[in-house]
Amino acid sequence: MEIKTLFLAAFCFLLTTSIFGQNQEKYAQLIEEASSLFESKDYLLSAEKYKAAFEQFEEQINTRDIYNAACAYALANDPKSSFDLLFHLANEAQYKNYWHIATDLDLKKLHNQEGWSELMEIIRHNKNEAEGIQRNEISDLLDEIMLKDQGGRREYRAIIAVHGYEATETERVRRQVWLSDSLNVIKVTNLLDSLGWPSLKQIGKPGSNAIFLTLQHGDMKTQEEYLPVLRKAVADGKIAAGALALLEDRLSLRQGKRQVYGTQIARDPETGENYVSPLMEPEKVNERRVNVGLKPIEEYLVKYGIDWDTEKHKAQIKKIESNDKN
């Protein structure tokens, strides 16, 4: 009797596991189809395919797919369905990536719709709670600064993808980003001058990143003046050492020197290809990167479409510098 019971339990377990595996495969197939339709800009069919996947395989649903479905509905001019999914994420899944959702161009059509402000307040609360900070005037200021910094750059990259680097529309957005950066610099340097670098309890890691990004995107004079402030923030554990590496590299290039960590990328105007800006001792770059917590340069460059080759880099920089002299 006990053997039969155990056999029956084992059989039921295997059957359940097999069904779950089949459902998982079917769900993944529907999500892949929805994603493909989204990429081909058939947003309504994409949204409907996501909906079919959610209705048929409720146990398989994850937050990424819900978010992507919300984007499809927004682009298909169905704000109600989009908001339904986004409020579910915010309330049930405690979605907290405030800056991503606020700057996602796929959701731009929702910004002037009733419900957007309420949604963003919930997500801002989730973000602050996850960071362990109480909302305050400084954290709100840095939220605003981060949105302008990252939102402008998202729009800029989107414009480049459509019109290219030299288009009039691209130049217009580029100037908007520059103006926004300039205003952010004024706000952040006033904050640093009056209060110093706030504690993580006040602003959290994202708030610290907002300060760093403002300095990183500021003018050379600002970077030189506030580099010691950033160094102290790193020493005090208020921001990762990788941020300091990024600013030091950018400032070195502006000063006519070579960068140290290989974080700065340039674009060849003749070929349109990205390349690593002049780098000191390129063969030792990964040794320096690991010391500040940065991943190997080969991994870092994947997003720029660059295959790292030390000798190729040396030859490329030699050619560029030779052309500059001529």
Determine the average pLDDT of the residues in 315-322: 85
**pLDDT confidence tier of residue 15, bands split at 50, 70 and 90:** very low
248 occurs within a structural domain: no
Domain shared by 201 and 230, yes or no: yes
Domain termination residue (choose one: 185, 206, 239): 239
Domain shared by 112 and 148, yes or no: no
Place of tokens 């290989």: 262
Determine the average pLDDT of the residues in 107-117: 96
191 occurs within a structural domain: yes
Range of the domain at 60: 2-131
Residue 21 or 307, more confident: 307
Rounded to whole angstroms, how far apart are CA atoms 179 and 173? 10
The answer to whether 146 and 120 are in contact (CB under 8 A) is no
Distances (CA, A) of 10 to 1, 6, 18, 21, 320: 14, 6, 12, 16, 68
Q: Which CATH number goes with the domain that contains 25?
A: 1.25.40
The answer to whether 73 and 82 are in contact (CB under 8 A) is yes
Q: What percent of the chain lies above the pLDDT cut of 90?
A: 81
Give the pLDDT confidence of 23-47 residue by residue, as tens digits. Answer: 788 999 999 999 999 999 999 999 9
Determine the average pLDDT of the residues in 261-275: 90
Q: Is the C-alpha dihedral spanning 236, 240, 243, 248 positive or negative?
A: positive
247 occurs within a structural domain: no
Spatial neighbors of 101 by CB under 8 A, at least 6 apart, are: 67, 86, 95, 107, 120, 123
Please report which helix (H) or strand (E) contains residue 274, including its range. strand 274-276
Domain shared by 262 and 325, yes or no: yes
Amino acid at 162: V
Tokens linked to 135 = 């909302």
Q: What percent of the chain lies above the pLDDT cut of 70?
A: 93
Domain termination residue (choose one: 112, 131, 150): 131
Domain shared by 123 and 215, yes or no: no
196 occurs within a structural domain: yes
Give pLDDT, residue 5.
Answer: 57
Domain shared by 149 and 77, yes or no: no
Determine the average pLDDT of the residues in 197-224: 95
Domain shared by 30 and 142, yes or no: no
Model's pTM, two decimal places? 0.82
Residue 70 or 4, more confident: 70
